[in-house]
């Protein structure tokens, strides 16, 4: 019935997405697959305890009215663990689901241990057993990720958190009060520029601006003026805003070519059609703002 009403539902949330945008999803953590054993243990490692316990409970309750509860829970377990394996963002639902199984398992173990041991011996057994059930697999995963860390991972973890609000006094100030400017910036900044200033942006993720997103990407990742300038003129571009070192810019700077516009702007090797606007009056600023020189 659900399929008849919503025929595309089971094709996933990206079924109508422009195929070009799927390239950008590779840079969003929550849209990635579980691609390593340590990450599996962190996100889904509890399944190693939950799965056999669920099978045991299904067999035990098969002849009672409680079987429907366990059948329903087992179906949820299959669905959400499968979805999490291919898209990390579903791990939120697994995180809600796993404690139901773990609580039942822990109550069962508590009863067994209490029946068999007493006093300090009971405490000595029950504490490590409960700790193992609660955080055992995920702790191994965290340890694995820590041991497997690469220098580039550490560098990414230290990436800047750039707040566009620091620039609002400049973007809304007298210097740019005469008219609205067209700005190209990494897509993470586009929304706030559009909604908090009078200026427009080439592309943002909050609207269906796929062509704009990729025009902005091609401008920032372009290496030759002869291919950049036609896009700059077509988009009537006025300004370029970047925040070097921002983690949200990885989809741009991952390109190995050192001559792309973004990297040239960072190191100050500006083409003759761009000049930098001083932001010295903005305290604690990580942004760099550039103006497109007209008549080029």
Name the β-bridge partners of 240: 184, 290
Pairing assessment for the beta strands 182-184 and 239-242 based on DSSP bridges: parallel
Confidence of residue 161 (pLDDT cuts 50, 70, 90): confident
Confidence of residue 284 (pLDDT cuts 50, 70, 90): low
- What is the distance between the alpha carbons of residues 35 and 32, in angstroms, rounded to a whole number? 8
Cα distances (Å, whole numbers) of residue 267 to 105, 232, 261: 58, 21, 10
Average pLDDT estimate for 223-248: 89
Which pLDDT does position 102 carry in this prediction?
95
Angle at 217 between CA 265 and CA 187, to 5 degrees: 95
Average pLDDT estimate for 226-253: 87
Contact 275, 293 (CB under 8 A): yes
Confidence of residue 153 (pLDDT cuts 50, 70, 90): low
| 274 pLDDT above the threshold of 90 | yes
Task: Give the rounded percent of residues in the chain with a pLDDT score beyond 70.
Answer: 95
Tokens (6 digits) for 57: 């409970």
- What is the distance between the alpha carbons of residues 88 and 84, in angstroms, rounded to a whole number? 5
Which pLDDT does position 275 carry in this prediction?
93
Average pLDDT estimate for 218-234: 90
Tens digit of each residue's pLDDT (9 = 90 or more) over 99-145: 999 999 999 999 999 999 998 999 999 999 999 999 989 999 999 88
Which pLDDT does position 279 carry in this prediction?
84
* Residues in CB range of 241: below 8 A, 6 or more apart: 167, 183, 184, 185, 189, 193, 287, 288, 289, 290
Tokens (6 digits) for 23: 């390239």
Run of H or E residues at 275: strand 274-277
Task: Give the rounded percent of residues in the chain with a pLDDT score beyond 90.
Answer: 42
Which pLDDT does position 158 carry in this prediction?
55
Which pLDDT does position 152 carry in this prediction?
53
Lowest mean pLDDT among 3-7, 73-77, 150-154: 150-154
Domain with CATH 3.40.50.12610 in the chain: 164-292
Which range has highest mean pLDDT (11-15, 149-153, 208-212)? Answer: 208-212
- Into which CATH architecture does domain 164-292 fall? 3-Layer(aba) Sandwich (3.40)
| 216 pLDDT above the threshold of 80 | yes
Tokens (6 digits) for 180: 């609205």
Tens digit of each residue's pLDDT (9 = 90 or more) over 46-90: 999 999 999 999 999 988 888 999 999 999 999 999 999 888 889
Determine phi and psi for 288, rounding to 5 degrees. -130, 130
Run of H or E residues at 112: helix 91-116
Which pLDDT does position 177 carry in this prediction?
84
- What is the distance between the alpha carbons of residues 181 and 203, in angstroms, rounded to a whole number? 14
Confidence of residue 17 (pLDDT cuts 50, 70, 90): confident
The DSSP secondary-structure symbol of 234 reads H
Residue that wins the pLDDT comparison between 50 and 246: 50
Three-state SS for 52-85 is HHHHHHHHHHCCCCCHHHHHHHHHHHHHHHHHHH
Query: What's the CA dihedral at 58, 60, 61, 63 to 10 degrees?
Result: 120
């Amino acid at each position: 019935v659900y399929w008849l009403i919503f025929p595309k539902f089971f094709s996933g949330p990206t079924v109508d997405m422009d195929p070009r945008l799927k390239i950008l999803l590779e840079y969003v953590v929550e849209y990635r697959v579980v691609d390593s054993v340590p990450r599996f243990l962190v996100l889904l490692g509890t399944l190693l305890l939950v799965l056999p316990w669920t099978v045991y409970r299904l067999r035990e309750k098969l002849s009672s009215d409680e079987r429907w509860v366990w059948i329903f829970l087992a179906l949820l377990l299959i669905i959400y663990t499968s979805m999490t394996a291919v898209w990390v963002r579903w791990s939120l639902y697994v995180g809600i689901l796993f404690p139901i199984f773990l609580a039942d398992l822990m109550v069962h173990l508590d009863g067994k241990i209490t029946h068999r041991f007493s006093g300090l011996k009971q405490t000595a057994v029950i504490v490590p057993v409960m700790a193992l059930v609660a955080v055992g697999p995920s702790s191994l995963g965290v340890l694995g990720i820590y041991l497997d860390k690469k220098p580039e991972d550490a560098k990414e973890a230290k990436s800047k958190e750039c707040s566009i609000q620091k620039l609002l006094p400049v973007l809304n100030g007298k210097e740019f009060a005469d008219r609205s400017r067209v700005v190209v910036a990494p897509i993470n900044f586009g929304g706030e520029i559009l909604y908090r200033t009078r200026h427009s942006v080439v592309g943002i993720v909050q609207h269906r601006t796929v062509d704009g997103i990729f025009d902005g990407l091609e401008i920032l990742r372009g290496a030759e003026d002869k291919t950049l300038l036609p896009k700059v003129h077509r988009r009537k571009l006025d300004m370029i805003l970047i925040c070097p070192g921002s983690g949200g810019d990885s989809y741009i700077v991952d390109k190995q070519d050192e001559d792309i516009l973004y990297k040239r702007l960072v190191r100050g090797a500006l083409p003759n059609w761009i000049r930098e606007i001083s932001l010295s009056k903005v305290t604690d600023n990580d942004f760099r703002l550039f103006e497109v020189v007209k008549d080029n």
